[in-house]
Amino acid sequence: MANFGLYGVPKLLLKGVSKTYASARGRTDALHQIDLSVKSGEFICIVGPSGCGKSTLLKLIAGLDAHSDGEILADGRQVSGPGTDRLLMFQEPALFPWLNVLHNVEFGLKMAGVSEKERRAKAHGVLELVNLVKFRNAYVHELSGGMKQKVALARALVMEPQVLLMDEPFAALDAQTRATLHEELQQAWLATKKTIVFVTHNIEEAVRLADRVVVFSSRPGRICREIPVNMARPRESYSYAGIAALIEEIAAELKSAPPDHAKLDLANPDRDRAEQDTAREEWCGEGYSQKGSVSYASHSGVAGRLQS
């Protein structure tokens, strides 16, 4: 496919992107020198510990927040504010409770001044894609969590964005619903061939969905490694032994990734030693043992099934 070509302009290009927040307690480096290139139609997953700035990165790409340093190019153009070519899906569905499902999906088109007839037709199309046509007149509070996220997905897809940015959109859902949504997202992606940047802390989710998994280290966020996932689609959970191997590889990557304190010392010579120790603890303790064990548990499940 042409848009997978080596020489095409990348859909998204990040060059040395950094983000620093200034607060009363001093400056916080959220992201440090991020270089990332995303091809058109590519599905990227970013994994990393909580607080590594991966959500911040999505906000920067969406133009909802300004980066401190570096360049963000979408289709070769500088990103300077929000645009409907880059739509962000949040961890919470952020649907409007005063509108029904159909009107929520039509919202962006209405803002763009699309005629009512055309809006309705397009909204109907995407609702079909996510199997929600019969709920088009329901209000948001009448929907389940998974349905809400599907409406949010439909609301984004209907705008035909160039890039879909997803910030842990399925984190709050139960495993069963999540699995269904993984399937439906893959179908929607295969049907529309959007470029997707998907942030998650769930390694299994990342491996299942992504063409390439980008591993972030903790504060300040930086890219440790990029791991391509070359497996046929649509992928079903546990259907490939390869998934298990990749999960193991990425989990190991996350565990061994150094939090880069040496460099922090140089940048911040007066940084408190105790604070660094806490940070390290966070990295090894809260950040990974828990999430790692979840992945390992499911991994050993796969292994068990493979052995039997």
Query: Using CB under 8 A as the criterion, which residues of the chain lie in contact with other proteins when the complex forms?
Result: 62, 64, 82-84, 87-88, 90, 92, 94, 96-99, 107-108, 110-112, 139-142, 155, 159
**Least distance in Å: CB of 286 to other proteins?**
25
**By the 8 A CB rule, do 151 and 93 touch?**
yes
**Least distance in Å: CB of 30 to other proteins?**
17
**By the 8 A CB rule, do 46 and 224 touch?**
no
**By the 8 A CB rule, do 74 and 163 touch?**
yes
**By the 8 A CB rule, do 182 and 209 touch?**
yes
**Least distance in Å: CB of 82 to other proteins?**
5
Task: Please identify, using beta-carbon distances, which residue of 14 and 114 lies nearer to other proteins.
Answer: 114
Question: Six-digit token pair at 269?
Answer: 């010579």
Task: Please identify, using beta-carbon distances, which residue of 106 and 184 lies nearer to other proteins.
Answer: 106
Q: Provide the residue type at 52 as one letter.
A: C
**Least distance in Å: CB of 221 to other proteins?**
20
Task: Please identify, using beta-carbon distances, which residue of 7 and 98 lies nearer to other proteins.
Answer: 98
**Least distance in Å: CB of 99 to other proteins?**
8
Reference 259, options 224, 294, 295, 213; nearest CA is 224
Task: Please identify, using beta-carbon distances, which residue of 158 and 247 lies nearer to other proteins.
Answer: 158
CA angle 137/147/188 to nearest 5° reads 105
Count the Cβ atoms, other than its own, within 10 Å of residue 123.
25
Task: Please identify, using beta-carbon distances, which residue of 4 and 96 lies nearer to other proteins.
Answer: 96
